[in-house]
Amino acid sequence: DLSAGRTPPPPEQVDGVKHIIAVGSGKGGVGKSTVSANLALALADLGLKVGILDADIYGPSQPKLMGSNGRPVAMNERLIPIAAHGVKVMSVGFLMEENRALVWRGPILAGALQQMLHDVAWAPLDVLIVDLPPGTGDVQITLTQKTPITGAVIVTTPQDVALIDARRAIDMFHQTETPVLGLVENMSTHICTSCGNEDDVFGHGGGEAEAKVQGIPFLGALPLTRVLRETSDSGTPIVRAMPDGPEALRFAEIAQKL
Ligand code: ADP
């Protein structure tokens, strides 16, 4: 029990940010960052002011995904987030040298996240998407205890090994009394680029079934497609690169449900 025997200090609001949505996963590589980026853009398309905080210390992907590299500058003792595709982006990646690992221990990592929340000029924002590291470590627990979050979105693939870990992530949010807004199943089915054939590489329906068991909303399924990967690698996520495509439509549906 993560909250046993401790009375955490009251959560501290982030100035000028109305809602914080944490995007988590049990495992790495399931598409958490891809979903965070596209969801942020889909929310911006609804007319909201959106930011992305890339807190994935072990593999910060937002600079590449959002095509934004550069060093944020400080003004009035706050870092100015980088503007990309109509949203504000801050990433631990901006503050790290490429190809260098961050060798910080848990408490320091958790402190870095607090700084990225409070010492960055986010305001005014309707929604701040926090792309969490995978799993249930110090960064996630500190965030849920120290910051009032509107809710968490869990990303998983339909595979059993991913679902087992997703269950742990959901349990962590339950234990820290963070509302779970729902589950997204990524890489749900592979759609072949040349023939359109659908193949359930990682199984099918596991995410939806798990959401039902856990009593949380199922937000939607995203296919495994070449264009999704290519657009992410090119620095223009699919919601911007192919706004009329089926993937963008799916992200728009998920954004509406939040
Ligand atoms: P995580 O944040 O969970 O580690 P990423 O979002 O970085 O995962 O995704 C891992 C890799 O898989 C990236 O190369 C990404 O472009 C690719 N990817 C993610 N989702 C899809 C998808 N639905 N179809 C194709 N490639 C995907």
Instruction: State the distance from the centre of ligand 1 to the C-alpha of 154, rounded, in angstroms.
Output: 14
Q: Which residues of the chain register pLDDT less than 50?
A: none
- Choosing from 232, 234, 247 the residue with most ligand 1 atoms within 8 A of its CB, the one to mutate for a pocket test is 232
Nearest to 209 by CA among 166, 251, 257: 166
| pTM for this entry | 0.92
* Ramachandran assignment for 205, one of left (phi > 0), alpha (psi -120 to 50 degrees), beta (any other): left
pLDDT for 71? 86
Atom of ligand 1 minimally distant from the CA of 29: 4
pLDDT for 175? 93
- Cis bond upstream, residue 124 (ω within 30): yes
- Choosing from 34, 38, 190 the residue with most ligand 1 atoms within 8 A of its CB, the one to mutate for a pocket test is 34
Instruction: State the distance from the centre of ligand 1 to the C-alpha of 247, rounded, in angstroms.
Output: 13
Q: Is ipTM strictly over 0.85?
A: yes
pLDDT for 2? 56
Burial of 10: CB neighbours in 10 Å, binned 0-12, 13-18, 19+: exposed
Q: Judge: domain 17-257, CATH 2.40.30.10.
A: no
pLDDT tens for 99-127 read 666 666 777 777 888 889 999 999 999 99
